[in-house]
Structure 1
Amino acid sequence: MYIILAFLIGITIVINMMLNGKLSQREGMINGVIINYFMATVSSIILCAIMLNSIPSYSSIISIPLPYFIGGLIGVLTTYLFNLIVPKVPAVYVVILRFIGQMMASAVIDYIYLDIFSEGKVIGGLLFLTGLIINAKVDDRHKEENIKLSEDVKTC
């Protein structure tokens, strides 16, 4: 069950990134972020209305320490950055970069809050990043060769 949910969430994330990228191209960067968070708020309200018993009280919400809400700010910033990046970078790179970022953030959070340093996460993230850089360089080389070939064909 969890594997299927993880798979569906992964698909949803990729679709969300692509839709946000298109939305930001059509409506502008800031408007795209605002529309994204407005729709997320509406969806959250609908979900809370469906799950009536799970709505937290106002007093329990205001008792949450302020730093815990930084996640929302980070979400806005990452949505803005991904809206900026997605139209310019192939989708596979965006997905891998997001995965690397999540791995590294997880390693930092584990170290700060649990005093656990996860060598595997850091090494895995660096290996992914190295592979991504090598792949990008190979893609650029192939792109340059194709441009050169198309120019040679035009001159013939």
Structure 2
Amino acid sequence: MILNIILALASGLTNVLGRIINSNLANKIGILPGTFYNYLTGLITSALFFMFSSNTLRYSPDKFLGLPVYAYIGGAMGVVVVGISSYITPKISALYATILLFIGQLFAGIIVDYFTLHVLSTGKVVGGVLVLLGLVYNAFVDKIDARTVENS
């Protein structure tokens, strides 16, 4: 259990750091080229992990063609995520971007659960709204603090 918690925290950390690195790259060479190089280095890294792991590639046309169409759109959605993240990261703080992404993921999960499991978790909806309200409150306080500093 502890290992899973550590891995989840590491995933969150690398997510934020990767978003900042991708944003810096996009600022230097553009969003689309930055996204392309992000995926190119991801492909190379994946290939290296694969080559040095004990897994083997077993390509089966039946297995490949037997998957539903939606199974193949993850990569395309990842391109959209990297592009949007590269665009918004320099415009808002890393903390706000992280919280907004979390809120978006939370509500997307709630919607997916509703349509696939026919379950609507009131607690998760209320929790998401509370996190959103906390973010709005924090942004309001930050704005007041910024005005106070300007007037000093």
The alignment's TM-score, normalised by the length of structure 2, stands at: 0.89
RMSD over aligned Cα atoms: 1.5
How far apart in 2 are the matches of 1:143 and 1:135? 12
Question: Residue in 2 aligned with 1:6?
Answer: 8
Q: In the comparison of the two structures, how many residue pairs are matched?
A: 149
What SS does the corresponding residue of 1:53 show, helix, strand or coil? coil
For residue 61 of structure 1, report the CA deviation from its aligned partner: 2.3
How far apart in 2 are the matches of 1:29 and 1:95? 19
Question: Residue in 2 aligned with 1:118?
Answer: 121
Give me the identity figure in percent. 34
| Alignment partner of 2:95 out of 92, 96, 112 | 92
More deviation, 5-14/69-78: 69-78
Task: For 1:6-155, list aligned pairs within 5 A.
Answer: 6-51=8-53, 53-59=55-61, 60-149=63-152
From the superposition, tell whether residues 111 and 54 of structure 1 become closer, same or farther in structure 2 (CA, over 3 Å). farther
Task: Write the deviation string for residues 98-137 of structure 1: whole angstroms up to 9, x where unpaired.
Answer: 1111111111111111111122222111111111111111
The alignment's TM-score, normalised by the length of structure 1, stands at: 0.87
Task: Write the deviation string for residues 38-90 of structure 1: whole angstroms up to 9, x where unpaired.
Answer: 11122222222233534241412232111122222221111111111111111
Greater Cα radius of gyration, structure 1 or 2: 1
Q: Which structure features the higher share of helix residues?
A: 1
Letter in 2 for 1:36: N
Question: Residue in 2 aligned with 1:154?
Answer: none
From the superposition, tell whether residues 27 and 58 of structure 1 become closer, same or farther in structure 2 (CA, over 3 Å). farther
Letter in 2 for 1:39: T
Alignment gaps of 5+ in structure 1:
150-156
How far apart in 1 are the matches of 2:125 and 2:40? 35
How far apart in 2 are the matches of 1:41 and 1:61? 19
How far apart in 2 are the matches of 1:4 and 1:115? 31
What SS does the corresponding residue of 2:120 show, helix, strand or coil? coil
From the superposition, tell whether residues 74 and 25 of structure 1 become closer, same or farther in structure 2 (CA, over 3 Å). same
Alignment gaps of 5+ in structure 2:
none
